[in-house]
Amino acid sequence: MKFRLHTLVATLGLAGASLLLPAHAQIKIAMVIPATGPLTQYGDMIKEGVLTAVEMVNAAGGIKGQKVETVVVDDACEPKQGPVAANRVVNDKIHYVVGPVCSGAAIAAAPIYNNEGVVVVTPSATSPTLTDGKNFHYIFRTIGRDDQQGPSAAKFIIEKIKPKKVAVLHDKQSYGQGIASNVRDDLKKAGVDVALFEGINAGDSDYSAVITKLKSAG
């Protein structure tokens, strides 16, 4: 909960610092989350954190006397839906976003948010591609990137498990494949034999082909 509250506090801090509102106005924040699709549990977790933080902020008098309102904008964690969600936020004249949750959707939507001056704080989009090489002034995150998380996982594997041979599997998504790639690269640098680097389709009922490859690779 502390992590999720800090995410919103960061957004609310930016809101308070960047805008002076008339006395009757409200501060509206969009929660751009997967409200539908297979990753709704992540959206639910972030929504719970945001609503709890908003309740606390409003109970303390809001921001400069203004109450905070929230609205859910669903991007289903789909890259194709990222720009659709961003345009809805812009069209609804919302200036602050918590999210997007997934890297793919965040990458697709980021140019729209940045060009329109919408302050975005994502608690979970870890792909370096979101910000590398971009001159974004409104896109922030509160979580370590793939190239921070992956090496940490590899370090644990190398130092604690000390394997001679490893198979690295990922789910072909921006987050999973990004982390897996960094783990693979650091394992190789440490001299660990990465016998298999393979993507799987999450939700498949038959992984026998992957199991066969694992057996063949020893």
In order along its 218 residues, the chain shows pLDDT tens digits of 444 455 555 555 555 554 444 444 589 999 999 999 989 999 999 999 999 999 999 999 999 999 999 999 999 999 999 999 999 999 999 999 999 999 999 999 999 999 999 999 999 999 999 999 999 999 999 999 999 999 999 999 999 999 999 999 999 987 889 899 999 999 999 999 999 999 999 889 999 999 999 999 99
Give the number of C-alpha atoms closer than 13 A to the C-alpha of residue 179, restricted to the C-beta side.
17
Supply φ then ψ for residue 100, to 5 degrees.
-60, 160
Q: Retrieve residue 64's tokens.
A: 């400069």
Are residues 26 and 83 located together in one domain of the fold? Answer: yes
- pLDDT for position 11: 59
Are residues 79 and 136 located together in one domain of the fold? Answer: yes
Are residues 75 and 178 located together in one domain of the fold? Answer: no
Q: Residues 6 or more apart from 102 whose CB is under 8 A from it?
A: 34, 39, 42, 75, 77, 124, 125, 173, 174, 175
Domain that holds residue 151: 146-217
- pLDDT for position 203: 83
Are residues 22 and 124 located together in one domain of the fold? Answer: yes
Are residues 32 and 46 located together in one domain of the fold? Answer: yes
CA distance 155 to 2: 26
DSSP letters along 75-110, please?
A: -TT-TTHHHHHHHHHHHTT--EEE---SHHHHHHHH
Structural domain ending residue among the three candidates 141, 162, 193: 141
Are 166 and 193 in contact by the 8 Å Cβ rule? The answer is yes
- pLDDT for position 174: 79
- Give the total number of structural domains in the chain: 2
Are residues 101 and 23 located together in one domain of the fold? Answer: yes
Whole-Å CA distances, 22 to 25, 165, 168: 6, 63, 54
pTM of the model: 0.76
Are residues 158 and 122 located together in one domain of the fold? Answer: no
- pLDDT for position 9: 56
- pLDDT for position 1: 45
Are residues 128 and 29 located together in one domain of the fold? Answer: yes
What CATH code is carried by the domain that includes residue 87? 3.40.50.2300
- pLDDT for position 2: 45
- pLDDT for position 23: 47
Q: Residues 6 or more apart from 78 whose CB is under 8 A from it?
A: 37, 104, 105
Are 54 and 6 in contact by the 8 Å Cβ rule? The answer is no
